[in-house]
Chains A and B, each alone.
Chain A
Amino acid sequence: MADIKREYALNALLALGLLLVPIWALYNGAPFTITLFTRIAILALAGIGLNIALGLGGMVSFGHAVYFGLGGYVAGILAQHAFNGAPILGLPGTNQMLIIWPVAMVLSGLLAAVIGAFSLRTSGIFFIMITLAFAQMVYYFAVSWPAYGGEDGLPIYVRNQFPGLNTMRPFELFIVCWGVLMLALGVFALIRASRFGAALMAIRQNPDRVASLGINPFGVKLAAFVISGMITGLAGALMADLSRFASPAAMAWTMSGELIVIIILGGTGRLFGPVAGAAFLVGFEVFFGGLTEHWKLWLGLVLLAAVLFNRGGIVALIAGRERLG
């Protein structure tokens, strides 16, 4: 049984901890800690996107890295055109995050609409595999398309700008990402509490009954899938700015796997699940990656243990499991 109070406390702890540690780091001269927490915030954001499709809608997308990668390319390509002054499709490039983000979200949403329209005709394992196949298709295209670097990727020499802040400073970029993360958490909570969210969760449980109520399950799922892709695409744009680099590697199927890992480790469908999952994954990689070159073996063992013995992820470990399966 879920303990609501404990979950609130855990959520507050995660939200504040994510903010307070970088502030501490800022005053104690530990810039890498800030970079690390920025990474956590961005991966958590990507996870929130997937959590809408997977956690609320039960759509196991094994190709969400494609939106993550696309968002990165939008940031990289627009920045490059702003840098060298060449227009793109008749329009100038830009290095303003406030323009890049909507573009990344709209394009990711469009791609999700196309992929979703095909994929949602299937279900179960077919859905898992067809989303993977679409992502692979775009991945191979990005690797071999020479205009924007192909497999070499696209460097962003100067990070894109946010009004009033200097994003080259780790802490100021972090604040931007943290703010976006909090907004996205708000959006997730709103969706979950809305009629739309209720319909989405009901479809996951019993699509036929929902259809008999006059709601079109396909439309609801497609809408959720598009929103999901948009949020993950936004995260991709931020990640490209953090790494100052956009590349097809962000679209690789292993990245899709990582996003699923983040969700499940944290807690599927839980508000702060992706935050907990991202924090764990990044922390694990940094800590064990420094101890042994065989850290992936240990990561595998931890994941395995998590699936076998701790269903519901980190949030459930602390706040109990949700009643909805």
Chain B
Amino acid sequence: MTAALLFEQFLNGLQFGLMLFLMSAGLTLVFGVMGLINLAHGSLFMIGAFFCAAAAGLTGNFWLGLAAGMAAAAAAGALIEMTVLRRLYSRDHLDQVLATYALILILSEGTKILFGPFPLYLDVPPLLTGTVNLGLTEYPLYRLALIGFGLLVAVGLWFLIARTRLGVRIRAGENDREMIAALGVNIRALYTVVFALGAGLAGMAGALVGAVQSVQVGMGEPVLILAFVVIVIGGIGSIRGAMVGALMVGIIDTMGRFLLPRIFATFMEVNQASGVGAALASMLIYLLMALVLVIKPKGLFPIHG
């Protein structure tokens, strides 16, 4: 095993983690501000990917597709917030789980009716194809760009929340709902905006990842479960926690898949070791989550007390 390979795997983990952050940021924001647990967040990821693929296919331009994907996911998010989810903020988590589970069924089947049962094609934009030489190793330019995107969005989100008026309201909303309503902020509009923002981020992740992945119905659920692992580790409601959790999950998952089979191969037959190692690697992040919750039952960065 060489330093080059380890370095490349580290970059892979970083990139995977940053994409998970895009997914998790919206999820954790919605929970922090509205107290809503949204299982349909993965469906918004899927909507972003499908609309990006369709628009890129029609126009031949990935960036128009990306815009379309984000817009579609944000619009879909705003729509379900206004028609369904806003009635659920005062309910318990159980009702929220069930209603958003129902939304998964509706959005998945609806996407299939709209786009058909076959996976769609979406390619990396020509500007970002190929590889770059990073000294130690060749690395795909598109993945490098994804790392850049992820960092950029993280900084933008930090700026939005720490430095803008909308951010002040969001932070106020996390701490005391009655208070900001009393201050004359239109809380309904604020909620819709926050939800659409989270949905747009999920759609962006779907569109970006869709270029190097299969754009198909059901693509949102595996990443949804990972995003939940991320925000639970990080502390639900905390953007900073989502960032730390996403990077931990991304890097540990990538490194586990890479290293565990090699570790087992030192004392087992190779084909057995790769099977056992892969099985353990797939359980690793859930073990991590259990461990974190045993030590800190409210995650690494709890927001309320």
On A, residues with C-beta under 8 Å from B are: 54, 60, 62, 118-119, 121-126, 128-130, 132-134, 136-137, 140-141, 144-146, 253, 257, 260-261, 264, 268, 294, 296-297, 299-301, 303-304, 306-308, 311
Contacts and interface: CB of A to CB of B under 8 A. Distances in A.
Interface string B226-247: 0011001000100000000000
A257 B101 contact: yes
A78 B19 CA distance: 44
B45 to A, nearest CB: 16
B232 A126 contact: yes
Nearest to B117: A293
A148 to B, nearest CB: 13
A126 B106 contact: no
A128 B36 CA distance: 13
Contacts of A60: 93-94, 97
24 contacts: A60-B97, A62-B97, A118-B290, A121-B294, A126-B298, A128-B37, A129-B229, A130-B290, A133-B229, A133-B290, A144-B275, A144-B279, A146-B275, A294-B109, A294-B113, A297-B113, A300-B102, A300-B104, A303-B99, A304-B84, A304-B103, A307-B95, A307-B99, A308-B84
B31 interface: yes
A133 B291 CA distance: 11
A306 B278 CA distance: 41
Nearest to A299: B105
A277 B112 CA distance: 27
Interface stretch (B69-77, B183-191, B280-288): B280-288
A301 B283 contact: no
Contact of B98 (A129, A133, A260): A260
Contact of B101 (A132, A261, A308): A261
A282 B93 CA distance: 25
A57 to B, nearest CB: 12
A267 B199 CA distance: 32
A125 B286 contact: no
A118 B229 contact: no
A307 B294 CA distance: 33
Contacts of A122: 293, 297-298
A304 B87 CA distance: 11
B148 interface: no
Chain B CB count within 10 A is highest, among A137, A253, A260, for A137
B109 A303 contact: no
Given A125-B236, A132-B225, A297-B109, A303 B98 contact: yes
B301 to A, nearest CB: 13
A303 B101 contact: yes
B286 to A, nearest CB: 4
Given A126-B297, A307-B102, A137 B97 contact: no
B106 A297 contact: yes
Contacts of A130: 232, 289-290, 293
A201 to B, nearest CB: 15
Contacts of B287: 137
Contacts of B228: 129, 132
Contacts of B286: 133-134, 136-137, 140
A300 B37 contact: no
Contacts of B93: 60, 124-125, 128
Contacts of B104: 300
Nearest to B272: A146
Which 8 pairs across A and B sit closest by C-beta, in order of nearness? Answer: A300-B105, A303-B102, A300-B106, A297-B109, A144-B279, A137-B286, A140-B282, A304-B102
Contacts of A300: 102-106, 109
Nearest to A146: B275
B130 interface: no
A134 B286 CA distance: 7
B275 to A, nearest CB: 7
B297 A304 contact: no
B108 interface: yes
Nearest to A135: B286
Nearest to B95: A307
A133 B275 contact: no
B279 to A, nearest CB: 4
B125 interface: no
B110 interface: yes
A294 B69 CA distance: 24
A125 B110 contact: no
B285 to A, nearest CB: 8
B294 to A, nearest CB: 6
B293 A118 contact: yes
A129 B95 CA distance: 15
A301 B102 contact: yes
A179 B119 CA distance: 47
A253 B225 contact: yes
A140 B105 contact: no
A136 B226 CA distance: 11
B299 interface: yes
Given A60-B97, A128-B37, A307-B102, 20 more contacts: A62-B97, A118-B290, A122-B293, A122-B298, A125-B232, A126-B297, A133-B232, A136-B286, A137-B283, A140-B286, A141-B279, A141-B283, A144-B275, A144-B278, A261-B98, A264-B95, A296-B109, A300-B105, A301-B102, A304-B84
A207 to B, nearest CB: 14
Nearest to A136: B286
A137 B102 CA distance: 24
A124 B229 CA distance: 15
A62 B225 CA distance: 12
Interface in B253-305: 275, 278-279, 282-283, 286-287, 289-290, 293-294, 297-299
